[in-house]
Amino acid sequence: MSITSLLTSATLSGASVFPKSLACSTDFSSNLSSPFDSSKICLTSFPASRNPKKNATWNLTPNTAPIQGIRCHAMQVETRESFTAGKKFQLSDVIEGQQFDREMLSAIFDVAREMEKIEKSSSQSEILKGYLMATLFYEPSTRTRLSFESAMKRLGGEVLTTENAREFSSAAKGETLEDTIRTVEGYSDIIVMRHFESGAARKAAATANIPVINAGDGPGEHPTQALLDVYTIQSEIGKLDGISVALVGDLANGRTVRSLAYLLAKFKDVKIYFVSPEIVKMKDDIKDYLTSNGVEWEESSDLMEVASKCDVVYQTRIQRERFGERLDLYEAARGKYIVDKDLLGVMQKNAVIMHPLPRLDEITPDVDADPRAAYFRQAKNGLFIRMALLKLLLVGW
């Protein structure tokens, strides 16, 4: 049975979350024994940025009250992402690797491949014409910020940018993150934020009424990097199940390897090797997560041995900025594991070397010419993934 309801207003946590008039129609036959039983309804009739945060799933309860002859219903937001007919889903924010499952990854990658076609075509896309993206970067960035800005412009959108928000925004005057987000959302349709504190992106998303993308939060996570990393592995290796991956370098402070580990856990028969100096070993929360999800992992100090049996060697730099004044610890950690010609000699023929970049001396320049060096192709894939995310967050399918 199909029914159409007209909601003149709805209120969530004391604030109006719908326009004055919203018509919505959906098929309740598979979920409701009567039109007013509790069920989930996905409202996706307009872009998330043009409306309450975001294309969310709501619980329709039987508590109703007539307002000007219209039956109104109390609604409560579900915290998890929702799927609509045909297993299409609606993203609300991109905050952490744990929020994605295999179906969602596959769907995002399908859109990313469409974005590759758009990028290669000579015609200008207008998918995001009329939309504004604000980039708030409290830490330095080259690839992430520029690829997001390029992605937005290639889809016809516009960009408002703050490159060093920590020093050149009101944060330098003591403004709270919440106040900054509330201000910036008034100027834009989506916020892409990099911050120096772990958990800042989640705080921003909880504050904002428009989509927020985590472009890295201190030593926490970097989910869009992980998405492009998995997309690159699939493109280069041809599969994601049954692979062996070596995560190398600064595993304690590297947000990219943390997010990547979360995503790799979604696939079958994956084995992860952790290769790092003792002082920057992978933290226990990631190890516990992998164990609880049945993912085999192993710590090793022998990069040559590990590289000989891995499909992917994912190298990272030792992050000096995370050591504060303890430069002695930084010097003790750097230079321990180098990807060079000798390492190439023991690697499998079809394996790949990846790196989130920037690199310092942990991959020697003479490796670049080897076809297994995938890190610049990896960086280019970031454009396609970020184009896909912007499209899905702003206009959906």
Question: Which sequence positions are flagged as catalytic?
Answer: 143-144, 173, 194, 222
Tell me the DSSP string of 53-80. Answer: S-S-EEEEEEEEEEETTEEEEEEEE-SS
For residue 136, give the H/E element and its range. strand 132-137
Q: Compute the distance between CA of residue 258 and CA of residue 220 in angstroms, rounded to an integer.
A: 8
Phi/psi at 272 (5° precision): -120, 130
Give the DSSP letter of residue 364: -
Let me know the angle formed at the C-alpha of 239 by 306 and 118, rounded to the nearest 5 degrees.
Answer: 120
Is the Cβ–Cβ distance between 154 and 121 less than 8 Å? Answer: no
CA–CA distances in Å: residue 147 to residues 123, 131, 166: 19, 17, 21
* Residue 11: half-sphere exposure toward Cβ, Cα within 13 Å: 6
Q: Which residue has the tokens 């201190």?
A: 218
Least Cα distance to 61 among 25, 90, 24, 34 occurs for: 34
Pairing mode of beta strands 2-7, 22-27: antiparallel
Q: Which two tokens stand for residue 173?
A: 């005057």
Least Cα distance to 38 among 60, 57, 64, 12 occurs for: 60
Q: Compute the distance between CA of residue 101 and CA of residue 104 in angstroms, rounded to an integer.
A: 5
Q: 289-299 b/e with 16+ CB inside 10 Å = b? A: bbeeeebebee
Q: Compute the distance between CA of residue 103 and CA of residue 266 in angstroms, rounded to an integer.
A: 10
Q: Which ranges in the chain belong to alpha helices (H)?
A: 102-120, 143-154, 165-168, 177-184, 200-207, 223-237, 255-264, 284-292, 303-307, 327-333, 341-346, 375-394
